[in-house]
Structure 1
Amino acid sequence: MSFRMGVMTLALVLAVMAVLLSPASSCSCFYRHPQQHVCEADFVVFARVRKVTHTPDGLTAYKVKVKRILKASEKVQLILQKGLIYTIPGTCAMELESRTSQVITGNVQGGKPWTNLCHFAKPWRSLSSKMKKGFRLLYERGCDCPIMSCAFWEDCPKASFMCAWETSNEENDCQGRHAVCLRGQDGTCDWLGGRLYRECMKPRRKQLDNEITVANNKQDNNINNKINTIPRRRRPLRFGYKRPRLHKLGQPRKGRPYIQHVVNEKPFGPK
Structure 2
Amino acid sequence: MSLYCSISKMGCSGLVTTLAILLNFNILTIYGMCPQCPDKVHPQEAFCKADFVIKAVVDDLTNYGDNPLTPEVDPRDKYTIIVEKIYKGNVTLGCYEEVWTLRDTLPCGVGLIIGEKYLLSGTIEVGDLVLDPCGLHEPWEEVTSHMKIGINKRYEKNCQCEVGESNCQIDTGLIPAQKDCYCKYATCVDSSKAGCAPECKWKESKTFGACFDDSLNVSII
TM range (shorter): 0.5 to 0.7
Query: What does the per-residue CA deviation read over 1:158-192, in whole Å, with 9 as the maximum and x for residues that have no partner?
Result: 73xx5112368522222121101110134410111
> 1:29: which partner in 2?
36
- Greater RCO, CA 8 A, separation 6+: 2
Q: TM-score, normalised by structure 1?
A: 0.54
- Residue 85 of structure 1: aligned partner: 99
Max Rg structure = 1
Trace 1:93-104 onto structure 2 (pairs within 5 A): 93-104=109-120
- Return 5+ residue gaps in structure 2 as ranges: 1-23, 65-74, 217-221
Q: Which moved more, 1:120-129 or 1:192-201?
A: 192-201
- Indicate how the Cα distance of structure 1 residues 182 and 113 shifts in structure 2: closer, same or farther if over 3 A, else same: same
From 98, 118, 130, the equivalent of 2:146 is 130
Pick one of 183, 191, 195 that aligns with 2:206: 195
User: Is residue 42 of structure 1 aligned with residue 51 of structure 2?
Assistant: yes
In the alignment, the residues of structure 2 paired with residue 203 and residue 98 of structure 1 have an alpha-carbon distance, to the nearest angstrom, of 32
2:142 and 2:93 mapped to 1: Cα distance?
27
Contact 1:167 1:176 in 2 (8 A): no
Identity %: 24
Say how many residue pairs are matched.
Answer: 168
How far is the alpha carbon of 1:100 from its aligned partner? 0.7
CA deviation digits over 1:194-248, x for unaligned, max 9?
Answer: 211133446899xxxxxxxxxxxxxxxxxxxxxxxxxxxxxxxxxxxxxxxxxxx
Q: Quick check: 2:54–2:119 contact (8 Å CA) kept in 1?
A: yes
CA contact (8 A) 1:23 1:114 kept: no
Determine if the alignment matches structure 1 residue 177 to structure 2 residue 165: no
* Structure 1 runs not aligned, ≥5 long: 1-21, 149-157, 206-271
Q: Which structure features the higher share of strand residues?
A: 2
RMSD: 3.0
